[in-house]
């Protein structure tokens, strides 16, 4: 089938490559022309504007947005809505907050357009391994777009999660769980790193990934990282977050669901961005004041 893809970042471009390999006709638009040329050389059809992209698609159209969450997605959706017709399907494949997706569904419905919120996991490995795709929205819109999801995902790698908003909701929780798993691996490897034993962390990661109950794709990626840089000397200890952990934590608080692992993982990411934290200095000062414990100038 055919679709339009708006946004050719790290994931969007590889998704286009995978769709082209699957025999789909893909019309693309990206503000950075050089990225558009990369996929045109592989068979995609370029466009100079959102309007031109939509004009190159036969109705009823499918337009996939792969742009940063928040205001950029709203801006692009508003631009797309200027040109769509009734029963066109707009898919948001970014990491949007699910409540924004509910609002966007209602906005599209007023124009007669369909909207699918599509949580997409796979990162830079998605081209080779496929993407895990979680789709929320109406049955008829999902059914029409299912050939796209089939191509993007590996076997059993996509799911219609329910009504609008549910796709990004499930992806939000998925990423929060990922935070907790990554934090546990990081802490465990640091404990081994600082032990009295000369543990080869690369070999341990390889071992666990092949025979342990804690094996996972993340562990395979840990092995890859350690293999290239056993001391991780090329990295600064700064960990960003794209929002899903915070959103999941807020959801847990609103529903009075205990989520201490996710909470700690989120806060540790915040801590990683602080150099010479005031809170840590305050703790040192308090210990010195009440107990005379030594302080490091």
Q: Do 278 and 197 form a contact (C-beta atoms < 8 A)?
A: no
By DSSP bridging, strand 114-121 and strand 89-92 are: parallel
- Phi first, then psi, for residue 285 (nearest 5°) are -65, -40
Any catalytic annotation for residue 183? Answer: no
8-13's contacts with Cβ under 8 Å and 24+ in sequence apart are 8/32, 8/35, 8/36, 8/38, 8/39, 8/66, 9/35, 9/66, 9/67, 10/123, 10/124, 11/66, 11/93, 11/120, 11/122, 11/123, 11/124, 11/126, 11/131, 12/66, 12/93, 13/38, 13/39
Count Cβ atoms below 10 Å from residue 46 Cβ, excluding itself: 16
**71/185 Cα distance (integer angstroms):** 34
How far CA 161 is from CA of 43, 135, 284, in Å, comes to 32, 6, 49
- Tokens (6 digits) for 202: 């690369």
β-bridge partners, 27:
4, 45
Q: Among residues 36, 114, 171, 244, which one is catalytic?
A: 171
Residue 111: how many other CB atoms lie within 10 Å: 16
* Residue in the block written with tokens 């909470």: 263
Look-up of token digits 């010195």: 288
Q: Does the annotation mark 250 as catalytic?
A: no
Contact criterion met (CB below 8 Å) for 55 and 82: no
From the list 52, 79, 129, 178, the catalytic residue is: 178
Task: Please identify every residue annotated as catalytic.
Answer: 171, 178
């Amino acid at each position: 089938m055919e679709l339009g893809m708006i946004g050719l970042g790290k994931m969007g471009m590889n998704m286009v490559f995978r769709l082209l390999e699957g025999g789909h006709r893909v019309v693309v638009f990206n503000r950075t022309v050089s990225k558009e040329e990369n996929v045109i050389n592989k068979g995609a059809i370029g466009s100079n504007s959102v309007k031109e992209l939509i004009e190159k698609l036969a109705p009823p159209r499918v337009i996939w947005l792969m742009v940063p969450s928040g205001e950029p997605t709203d801006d692009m959706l508003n631009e797309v809505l200027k040109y769509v017709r009734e029963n066109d399907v707009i898919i948001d494949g970014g990491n949007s907050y699910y409540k924004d997706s509910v609002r966007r569904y209602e906005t599209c419905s007023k124009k007669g357009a369909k909207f699918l919120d599509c949580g997409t996991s796979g990162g830079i490995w998605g081209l080779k391994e496929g993407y895990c795709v979680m789709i929320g929205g109406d049955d008829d819109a999902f059914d029409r777009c299912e050939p796209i999801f089939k191509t993007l995902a590996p076997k059993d790698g996509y799911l219609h999660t329910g009504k609008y908003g549910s796709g990004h909701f499930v992806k939000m929780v998925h990423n929060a769980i990922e935070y907790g798993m990554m934090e546990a691996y990081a802490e465990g490897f640091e404990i081994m790193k600082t032990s009295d034993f000369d543990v080869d962390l690369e070999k341990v990661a390889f071992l666990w990934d092949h025979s342990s109950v804690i094996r996972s794709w993340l562990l395979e990626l840990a092995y890859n990282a350690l293999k290239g840089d056993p001391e991780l000397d090329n990295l600064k200890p700064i960990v960003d977050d794209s929002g899903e952990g915070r959103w999941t934590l807020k959801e847990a608080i609103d529903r009075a669901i205990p989520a201490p692992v996710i909470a700690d993982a989120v806060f540790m990411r915040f801590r990683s961005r602080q150099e010479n934290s005031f809170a840590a200095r305050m703790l040192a000062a308090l210990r010195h004041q009440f107990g005379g414990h030594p302080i490091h100038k």
